[in-house]
Structure formats: structure tokens, C-alpha cells
Amino acid sequence: MVYSRQKAGMSETGSSFSGAEPFTLAVDGMGGDGGPEVVVAGLAIAADRHPGARVLLIGDEATLRQELARHPKAAAICTIRPANSAIPMDMKPTAALRVRDSSMRLSMDAVAQGEAQGVVSAGNSGAMLALAKIVVKTLPGVSRPAMAAISPTLKGDVVMLDLGANVACDWRNLVEFAVMGEAFAKAVLGLPAPTIGLLNVGSEELKGDEKLRQAADVLRNSSLAAQFHGFVEGHDITAGTTDVVVTDGFTGNVALKTGEGALKMAFVLLRQVFRSGLLAKLGYLLVRPGLERMREWLDPRRYNGAVFVGLNGVVVKSHGGTDAEGFASAVDVAMDMVTHRFNESIREQLSRLDTLAAMRSGAEKEHPAVAAVS
Amino acid sequence: MVYSRQKAGMSETGSSFSGAEPFTLAVDGMGGDGGPEVVVAGLAIAADRHPGARVLLIGDEATLRQELARHPKAAAICTIRPANSAIPMDMKPTAALRVRDSSMRLSMDAVAQGEAQGVVSAGNSGAMLALAKIVVKTLPGVSRPAMAAISPTLKGDVVMLDLGANVACDWRNLVEFAVMGEAFAKAVLGLPAPTIGLLNVGSEELKGDEKLRQAADVLRNSSLAAQFHGFVEGHDITAGTTDVVVTDGFTGNVALKTGEGALKMAFVLLRQVFRSGLLAKLGYLLVRPGLERMREWLDPRRYNGAVFVGLNGVVVKSHGGTDAEGFASAVDVAMDMVTHRFNESIREQLSRLDTLAAMRSGAEKEHPAVAAVS
């Protein structure tokens, strides 16, 4: 039962793409530790799932042509656009902004100019965020883009954000993250009315700091009130208490990596158990089918593809160290978001929140103490 | 191999207590969801491990007498001290401070008056921290006490702090947490020179916010420099990259609960795998011995007993929902800290850091920008 929920896109994108609208993704061919080899192999897998999609593959022409020759399925959906340089994984964002002809920059340009609806890159995250803000630009009404991704829980999947785009946040950012996370859960998980939790050190209303209490107060009085569950704690993430977990980028990044680390530890210890003797090895053979399903369900590659939400286009970051299967998952996420008109859903919610925000600004002018903490 | 490291106390306290110095613990008999029944059953288990210990058991006399009658081993080490009231689990700290005759308050009084060297309670954490600050008092040179505990990793155990005593911290707090965490790892894990990591969103020197970079800078130039590993990330906690992980109370609380939640999810899924058919059930029987060892190693009860460090006495908080075995672990932790003269080790390090802090204060006066962020 646990394994039953499908990502929305897995079942729906196929039909969307057989329709009249051909969507185009710009793909940074040079990003990631595995470079063009992994990217193109990933596109070959994605091509099967999204036969109607078009990909603008950007990078070193000779290398990309060579890789496409080895993957005819990828070649069938790709058009190469040459780029003279690539952003190294350790380049600082400020330096990356100065490189005008990088494969990452040209991928963002394609979205900004309307040639593509989304971009996928396995490159340098800091450079990606900086370029996305400058080139693709922030959505009107959003103060700061956030990084969102899906993780496994006992009840299905959870959307968590921010995962590191903003190490410090105020209550406005958290409220916007809630709006964007809700739209993300609708688009990528296919949920009609996702529930939202605000990550805190306790579930009581008085826990945490002022910005958390402010954000909770705004959400409780917003158009999302019925979906807002209140505060959740660390263990609620994997318990699946809510469909969306909202937090600042520092806490979200630490929580994501801590959870992944704990699961990795469990699998390493489990491997030792199964190798601890002849009987254990035999036992392993008997439980292997179920164990493989469990491993697949928790497989980080299945959850690859973090999204920078709050931009004028779909910007998806694949893990730099992923393989072809993982890169294909990142393409899935981008396709889901493009086809589900993710940003229109955000715009609608934000305009509803505008009235509320205006009221709150008024209140702050009357109570300087409230303004001081936000 | 993974299972080989023992908590220091498991092997050493037995001999310590057969010596000339009889240590006394004050135990809040009324705290926790299970109340006196669990506390006294836990003391019966602890009595076997610490035969030379004395316990001042504080709470409702009739109830405690009744429980001790059922546990002669506990009765052999306990003296009852009557208390007229108990702090409810949901009472606010400010209200708890006004109750003069609670079992928790009288337990703290026993430490403050030198009748006991440490206190253990499974009661209300917020009330415990507030009472400990007022009654047991903060150690000279420490700005704020922190909550520390041990967690399992792939390489042994890790000490993590702060786990929620301070939701907001400055660089001074983080440096003090590092000092106290190092002393804690020496006392409870028995490590001669524990390594220290500062939790961040990346391991590069420029990651994170100003308070993290400041704290790292101070530690790199302190007497702990050789043990300071620099920044660590969420996945480093369970990887066992360092023996001590230092963070603010908000992040630490979320990370601890997120990691526990992820492990719980792994065990729930594993149980489903082993129940998924006849062959899987047979397989389970074959791997059970190894699996039980793994479960024991990761058992939260084994890691029960969070310590409020930075106080003029040993103050240990047991999880409110624990069982007798878990409560006995919390008693182990208190005994380890009392016998290893934990606070003397902290005092020594802090005095060495004093010179450094004085230098830094001087620097801040010259550079107001530095002072502003700390």
C-alpha cells in the first residue's frame, strides 16, 4: 500500500505530450560530475517517457554529437545548440554570472526568450540560482526563489522547501514558500488539496521563534487556511504528516541531508546483517524481491530533481553526482511542472495573499515591535 | 566491527563505584508519561550496573514506597524524599518556576545543596531547563546551557548539541557548545581527543552565515584547533565524520528528529518486507539474529538521556515516553558524567578560551561591523 502512490507525471505526462502543444526543455549538456555522457544517456531514458517532448541540448557540439550518435532515442528528441564554455562545479556564482557563453547561461537564455519552457542542469547549484535570478527572473510577487524537492515518506511523497537557496528567511519568505510548495505538490504529486506544515521544534503554537509564529498566523488566516496543518517536527517529514513541509534554507538543507544519511546508514548496516553468515545470506535470497522494492521506493535517484520555484520558468537542478536514471527523473520533474502550468497556480494564490499582506503591513506600521522581528 | 565501540560508562562505572567515593543522584520520581512505575523499574535495572550508587528518590511518598516494594534492587539504593506536587508535562516553564515543592524542584535543590552530584528526570523539558538555570545555575564562563545527546553513526557514536535549549544562537554560544560537547564526548564516550564539526549547508569555508564563519574562525585559532574538523553537513552526522556535531538548538532539534524519523521509516518498511509472504517470513527467521543486533544498536532507548550541559551539576533529561530500559540508560549517562568530572574539563577549556575571547572583543571594538553580526 505504501508503494501505491505514483508521481502525477509518471502517468499523466505521456498523454499530455501526445496532444497539440509541443513543450521544449533546454538541457545543459555539460553539467554534473558525469558530464555529457550521463546527460545524454539520461535523455535517452526520458525520451521513452516523454515521446512528444523537444529538447534543446546545449554545450560542446562535437562532444554532444558523439554522445547522441550512441543514443538514437535521445537524438530523436534533441536539437544541439553549441556553447563555447561550461561552468566548473566549484566556480563562485559571481564569477559564473560573468561567463556569457556557458552552456548553463545559454540554457537559461532559451527559457527567458521563450524558446523553451524549462531548463534542466546537473551543474553548480549556486551558479544556477544566480543565473536563474538574473536571466529567467523572479516571478512577480515573489521575494525570493526557493529550492524544492520530493522525498519519500510512510504515506507517499512529501514536498520540502527551502532546501538551501536562502539560509536566512523572514515570515514573508516562509509564507511564499508555502504557496509555492502547495502549487508544486499539485503539479508534481497530482494532489488536489495538499496539506502544509511549518517545520518547528514542537507542534504547540508557542514554540519556535517570532518569524515562525508570524508565518503560521498569516497562513491560518489565508486562503490556504483549510490546508494549513500548523507546526510539524522533524519526525513528521518521513511520517508523512503533511504533503508539504516549509522551512528556511538552512534547516531544510540540513534536514534533507540528515534524513538521507540516516537511511544510508540503515542500508549499510542491513548489508552487513545479510553478509554475516551462510544462513543470513540464504535469508537475503528469500527476502530479496521485497527488499528491492523497498530500495527502489527509497532510491535517491527516483527523487532526483530539485526545483528552483518562484521563477518566470521551470528551472530544475539535477544532483551533480547522479547517473542516467537519476537525470531522467529530473527531466520528469521538469516535464510535470511545464505541463501542469505550475506558475499560473502560484500567481493565483499570491494575488489572493496580496490583500492579506497589505493588511499585515498596515498592522506593522501601528505596532513597530511586530515590524522589527519580521 | 560497527558494533564494537562501547559507551565509556558501560565498562568503567562499575569499577568507579566500587571505590571510596559514593556518588548520589537525585531522581525525580514523578516525571514522564509512565510516572513512578517506569522510573522505579528503570532504577532497578540501573542498580545492577551501578551497585555503589546512592539515589535520592523524590516524589509522592506512598506511591514511591509501593513501587520500591515491587523492586527490591531499586529499594537497596534508594532513599525516598517526599514532595507534595509534580510538574505536569504541559505546564509552562514560567508556571513551573513558581511551584516550590514539586518533585522536579526538590531534585534540583538536592544538587544545588550538594546532597547529590546529578539529577535525572523524565519530566517536562522546558520546566527542567528553566529550573536548572535558576536552581543549579549556569557554570561560570558559560553564556547558555545547551542540550546534548548521543546518536548512533556508522563509525560509533556522535555527540550532538544543542538539541533545543536555544532556538537562536550567536558565535559565542556555538564556540561554548563545542567546548562542552568535547568534554561530553570525553566523559560519556571515553574518547581521548574527540573531533568536532560545525553543522552547515556545505563544507566549504564560505558557506553558511556570519555566525558560523565566526565560530569556525575562533575554533580554528583555539586550543581545540587540532580537534576542529571544520564544517560538516547533515549526512556527516550518521557517517560519523566527527565525534561531536555542534549546531544551534533549532537546527539540532530538527536534525535529531528527522534522523530518528528516517530510521523509523526504514524499520517500518522492513517489517512490511518481512511480512510480504511465506518465503519472506522464512528469510526473516534466518536473518533475525543479525537484525536484532542492528535494531539494538539503533535502539533509541540505548541513546536515551539528553544532558543539559553548562550547569553547576549534572542534569539529565530522559525522554518522557521512555520505558524502564530507556530510563536506566539516562541513569547511565548521569553516572558517567558524575564519575568523569565532566564540569572540571569544561572549566579548564573555557579558561583557555578566555584569552582568545578577550582578543576577539578587542577586535570587535575596532571593527563595529564584526560586533554587529555576533
pLDDT of A287-346, one tens digit each? 888 999 898 888 878 888 899 999 999 999 999 889 999 999 999 999 888 887 777 778
Please tell me which of the candidates B234, B265, B267 has its beta carbon nearest to residue A261.
Answer: B234
Percent of chain A with pLDDT over 70: 88
Task: Assess B293–A contact: CB distance below 8 Å, yes or no.
Answer: yes
| A209: pLDDT strictly greater than 80 | yes
At residue B188, the pLDDT reads 84
Find, among B129, B141, B204, the residue nearest to B175 by Cα: B141
Angle at which helices A278-298 and B278-298 cross, to 10°: 80
Per-residue model confidence as pLDDT tens digits over B187-201: 888 899 999 999 999
User: CA A112 to CA A134: how far, in whole Å?
Assistant: 10
Q: Look at B264 and A238 and tell me if their CB atoms are within 8 Å.
A: yes
At residue A330, the pLDDT reads 94
Please tell me which of the candidates B237, B253, B294 has its beta carbon nearest to residue A269.
Answer: B294
Q: Look at A247 and B254 and tell me if their CB atoms are within 8 Å.
A: yes
Can you tell me the mean pLDDT for B296-300? Answer: 85
Write out the DSSP string of A189-253: I--SS--EEEE-S-SSTT-S-HHHHHHHHHHHTSTTGGGEEEEE-HHHHHHTSSSEEE--HHHHH
Please tell me which of the candidates A261, A284, A289 has its beta carbon nearest to residue B287.
Answer: A284
At residue B14, the pLDDT reads 36
Query: By three-state DSSP, how is residue A169 classified?
Result: coil
In B, minimum Cα distance to A276 occurs at: B290
Can you tell me the mean pLDDT for B136-142? Answer: 90
Top residue of A287, A294, A297 to mutate, by most chain B CBs within 10 Å, is A287
Contacts of B209 in chain A (CB under 8 A): 167-168, 250
User: CA A147 to CA A160: how far, in whole Å?
Assistant: 8
Q: Which helix (H) or strand (E) holds B260?
A: helix B249-274
Per-residue model confidence as pLDDT tens digits over A98-154: 999 999 999 999 999 999 999 999 999 999 999 999 999 998 889 999 999 999 999
Q: CB pairs below 8 Å between A and B: how many? A: 196
Least confident of B13-27, B75-89, B224-238, B339-353: B13-27
Task: Assess B363–A contact: CB distance below 8 Å, yes or no.
Answer: no
Q: How many angstroms separate the first and last alpha carbons of chain A?
A: 43
At residue A373, the pLDDT reads 29
Residue A217: CB atoms within 10 Å: 14
User: CA A271 to CA B260: how far, in whole Å?
Assistant: 20
At residue A69, the pLDDT reads 97
Distance, in angstroms, between B311 CA and closest chain A CA? 23
Task: Assess B298–A contact: CB distance below 8 Å, yes or no.
Answer: yes
Q: State the ipTM, two decimals.
A: 0.86
Please tell me which of the candidates A233, A238, A274 has its beta carbon nearest to residue B265.
Answer: A238
Domains and CATH numbers, chain A: 1-137+311-340 (3.40.718.10), 143-302+342-374 (3.40.718.10)
**Within the 150-189 window of chain A, which residues sit less than 8 Å (CB to CB) from chain B?**
152-154, 164, 167-168
Please tell me which of the candidates A264, A268, A290 has its beta carbon nearest to residue B276.
Answer: A290
* The Cα angle at residue B256 between residues B136 and B287, in degrees rounded to 5: 125
Residues facing B199 on adjacent strands: B232
Contacts of B127 in chain A (CB under 8 A): none
Residue B305 corresponds to which cell in the numbers above? 538521556
Q: Look at B272 and A237 and tell me if their CB atoms are within 8 Å.
A: no
